[in-house]
Structure 1
Amino acid sequence: MVDAAKPRIIIVGAGIFGLSTAYYLAEDGYNDITIFDQHAYDSDEGYKLNPGSTAASVDENKVFRASYGDELYYQRLAYEAREIWKEWNKELGAGKELFVESGMLRVQHSTYLDDLELQTLANMTKEGLRDTQYIVSDEEDVRRAEKNGWAHKLLKFPVPGTDGKETFEAVLDTTAGYVFPSKACAYIAGKLRKSGTQFVEGPEKGVFASLLVEGSDDSKRAIGIVTKDGKEHSADLVIMACGSATPMLVPEVSRVLEATAGSVITIRLPPREEAPELWDKYSSEITPVIIGHDPDPTGKTVGSRSIYSFPRTEDGLVKIGYRVTKYTNFVKLPGFEEPLSVPLRPEVDDTSLPITSIEGIKTYVSTFHPDLAALPIARTRLCFYTDSVDNSFLIDYLPGYSDTLFVCTGGSGHGAKFTPILGKHVRDVIQKKPKTELTHHWRWRPELPLGNGLEEGPAGPRTLDKQKRATPEDLKRAGW
């Protein structure tokens, strides 16, 4: 029975932001929720990674970390989420976990701790968590690691050009690891379906075409949406949780959000019986997540700690992600004065990786995983995220729609870890509870100066049309 006291809600987007929001609204008694998505996630494949999906939420694994420098509010949110990840693990049972506590090694740019790391350790100490962090070069930390069973993950990597005499400083975070976003989305969606939340999915009936709006520009209201099949769907509140497609669907946010692509390759290990030592080494019991960088062969480093690798999957795949350069894809769309960066469509557009990414990943592999350098690439992917001007999420009512249009996006490459708790705080914003430090950072904030690359626009150096793209032959010539 629908509760007339609760608003009818439409959520556009069945990814992490949309599902987590629906989960907590349903928990609070909202029982007229309909989620729309262009992908048929109710099919046999569900949220499994597939070539046709453009969603960043649909992925094999993503990093879980609570290391945020001086951004203590995100550190606390990560640990809040971590407790629920662990609860979900218990509920699902052994072998079905959604969160793997493999630990994460934060490799520095040089032989000392940089400012970001010092800020992170200071906040960990402030919160009483310093004992979960192990500095590779710290003798006391090494002794603690040996005592607590973490010493085998205190990996040391030679600085190129030093003949092995120097190693990169690193910090092992034993509270970190990785999560399975596709499985988590399927898990939440299953709970929502059982609780009565409606899903409308597919390439016609699930595709957002336009808002239904009534009233003038000075006093307008969103009263629902129109889908690609021409059907109208009414609602009291429309929540746009569309990931990297949000700027093209909600023009008002295109100034403060931008679709950008990270580069991902997946390396396949030989069959277990042929290389048991590699299967053992790259298991989550032995190998942590590694957050590294793009080291130059001369010993200098370029970029930030924006290349990362995971332990192998159950079927022997090792994923490596590259976010040193976040590529843009500008096109001219009807109704927009300026070109807009939009996600490429797998199996429709050219989604091959830039050569720059391949070269950066290859250098990373030769430094941190040299025994993978000669192994074949199983697949590549341009994974589109939604970057905000300051890397904080955008979760707020959109001005001008009388509190009937809500935006919930801006993951900026670090949203997946918050899946279990994000919707709780989104619900607080929807219900207009007093702003916290966290939700203050998520507010509608067009007053911020353009940054994080959004100031570059289509003339910037990161656009995909300016990149040389890697063909299969290029990969082979690169040793892959």
Structure 2
Amino acid sequence: MATSAKPKVIIVGAGIFGLSTAYYLADDGYKIAIFDQHPYDRGDGYKLNPGSIAASVDENKILRASYGDELYYQRLAYEAREIWKRWNDELGPGKELFVESGMLRVQHSSHLDKLEKKTLANMTAEGLRDTQYILSNEDDARRAEERGWSHKLLRFPIPMPDGRETFEAVLDTTAGYVYPSQACAYLADKLRKKGAQFIEGPEKGAFVSLLVESSGGSKRVMGIRSKDGQEHLADLVIMACGSATPMLVPEVSRVLEATAGSVVTVRLPPREEASELWDKYSHDNWPVIIGHDPDPTGKTVGSRSIYSFPRTDDGLVKIGYRVTKYTNYVKLPEFDHLISVPLRPGVDDTSLPIKSVEGIKTFVSTFYPDLASLPIIATRLCFYTDTVDNSWLIDYLPGYNDTLFICTGGSGHGAKFAPILGKHVRDVIKKKPKTELTHHWRWRPELPLGNGLEEGPNGPRTLDKQKRATPEDLRHAGWWKESRI
């Protein structure tokens, strides 16, 4: 990278990873230009709409620090949490970006699994055990009553394999959810005030190719070419393109995979018609609920889960399904192999696999039975970027003389780190000594393919192999999709 006092950096991608990185680099005096194909700088901004495919553009995402034995992510989550709270103070009442609703981690049996035990052990080691409440623990139940959390230690009659109608769960009172779309807009505003340049839109903001100079067997990235034909020069190009990264940078397509989670949104009746539901599912009375897929090894299973949120101010309840992460393999001209890519803007991403719908129906009947007759007003396939081990890919790409940097691989758990991610990315860019955290983000093609990437296009998760839900499938459960948000 050039030795100029203020290097010019192009960041491709104006989502969580790109904006957080830009924010901390701008603090250090880097000249920042951010490109994105979506015109976030006008119209609806970061609001979810049919033309947006970015996972960063969403109503809400979970903030939690439960990471099994991955203490480095637990600590990073709490580091981010403090800044979310600071942002809340900056914005003032009614404009908060982080809601401390608590989160109920539901077990798939009447006892704690290995992953949950490791999480609690790390919470205890960090002096945080008193923020965690085990449903069946009498001391915890008494403490929850004393501290005003007992109403969120929810109990449901779930039939278990041993015949008992019970289950185990842990309430994490440090967890909750954030508003990623609003957070992106907030960071973008801060960046504009710092002098960062935004080039957005389907022509001038859309990345087409890298500008690569080859000399004597050595390659350097000199900048990028946008769809309008313009060439933009920089000392460093950072590709923070989320699920689109594998198709824009072929070298990473073997270790990154675009995968889709399934999301439904239910609308409560008008407040005046169902005030009891509005009260029940408010963040004051209802936690985030997450149920991880059982894993007998006790290894962190990333985002293989079903989860739900308290209602929004508009009376919307979002439920997400990531037990199966679907792939969309295609053959692109510049590749010698099939790769999974997100659906193109304008391609229908609202028809969910029937497997997801059935899983969500079961979840709703268990945790939200009084919502089962209400309409689904929105469905969405939300594409993320999975790595082989769920740790992100944040490093220089070899072979380009430190002029091309990859910053992606959120694996379904990146949004909550928006306030702090860029601080550590900046350390990697500046080649500071690797920490335990940044070591896990290194370029690591030596790792065996896992996390589903080993399945490839012949695996069972490809969208072309899925039976897709129809309006009739939704109607069968008392659900009817009226329209898309």
Q: Does 1:126 align with 2:125?
A: yes
Aligned to 1:298: none
Name the stretch that deviates more: 349-358 or 141-150: 349-358
Aligned to 2:335: 336
Aligned to 2:206: 207
Aligned to 2:437: 438
Partners in 2 of 1:249 and 1:218 — Cα distance? 22
Counterpart amino acid of 1:12? Answer: V
Partners in 1 of 2:239 and 2:139 — Cα distance? 49
Partners in 2 of 1:304 and 1:52 — Cα distance? 25
Q: Is contact 2:109-2:160 (8 Å) kept?
A: no
Shift in alpha-carbon separation, 1:120–1:293, aligned structure 2, 3 A: closer
Shift in alpha-carbon separation, 1:38–1:290, aligned structure 2, 3 A: same
The two structures, once aligned, show a CA RMSD in angstroms of 1.6
Partners in 1 of 2:49 and 2:303 — Cα distance? 29
Partners in 2 of 1:164 and 1:275 — Cα distance? 35
CA displacement at 1:44 relative to structure 2: 2.6
Deviations 1:385-429 (A, max 9, x none): 000000000000000000000000000000001000000000000
Deviations 1:249-271 (A, max 9, x none): 00000010000000000000000
Q: Is contact 2:242-2:384 (8 Å) kept?
A: yes
Q: Is contact 1:111-1:166 (8 Å) kept?
A: no
Aligned to 2:454: 455
Deviations 1:197-248 (A, max 9, x none): 0000000110000000101483100000000111000000000000000000
Aligned to 1:300: none
Partners in 2 of 1:357 and 1:162 — Cα distance? 22
Aligned to 2:403: 404
Aligned to 1:325: 324
What secondary structure sits across from 1:59 in the alignment? coil
Aligned to 1:233: 232
- TM-score w.r.t. length of structure 2: 0.95
CA displacement at 1:477 relative to structure 2: 2.3
What secondary structure sits across from 1:80 in the alignment? helix
Name the stretch that deviates more: 419-428 or 211-220: 211-220
Aligned to 2:298: none
Identity of aligned residues (%): 82
Aligned to 1:94: 93
Shift in alpha-carbon separation, 1:57–1:341, aligned structure 2, 3 A: same
CA displacement at 1:351 relative to structure 2: 4.0
What secondary structure sits across from 1:81 in the alignment? helix
Partners in 1 of 2:259 and 2:347 — Cα distance? 18
Partners in 1 of 2:228 and 2:426 — Cα distance? 30
Aligned to 2:10: 10
Partners in 1 of 2:422 and 2:269 — Cα distance? 41
Q: Is contact 2:33-2:196 (8 Å) kept?
A: yes
Q: Is contact 2:255-2:445 (8 Å) kept?
A: yes
Q: Is contact 2:260-2:382 (8 Å) kept?
A: yes
Counterpart amino acid of 1:225? Answer: I
Partners in 1 of 2:407 and 2:449 — Cα distance? 20
Aligned to 2:193: 194
Q: Does 1:355 align with 2:354?
A: yes
Aligned to 2:46: 47
Aligned to 2:373: 374
Q: Does 1:393 align with 2:385?
A: no
Within-5 A mapping of 1:8-407: 8-30=8-30, 32-160=31-159, 165-216=164-215, 218-292=217-291, 306-349=305-348, 351-407=350-406
| Ranges in structure 1 where 5+ consecutive residues have no aligned partner | 296-302
Counterpart amino acid of 1:14? Answer: A
Counterpart amino acid of 1:110? Answer: S
Partners in 1 of 2:375 and 2:104 — Cα distance? 25
What secondary structure sits across from 2:291 in the alignment? strand
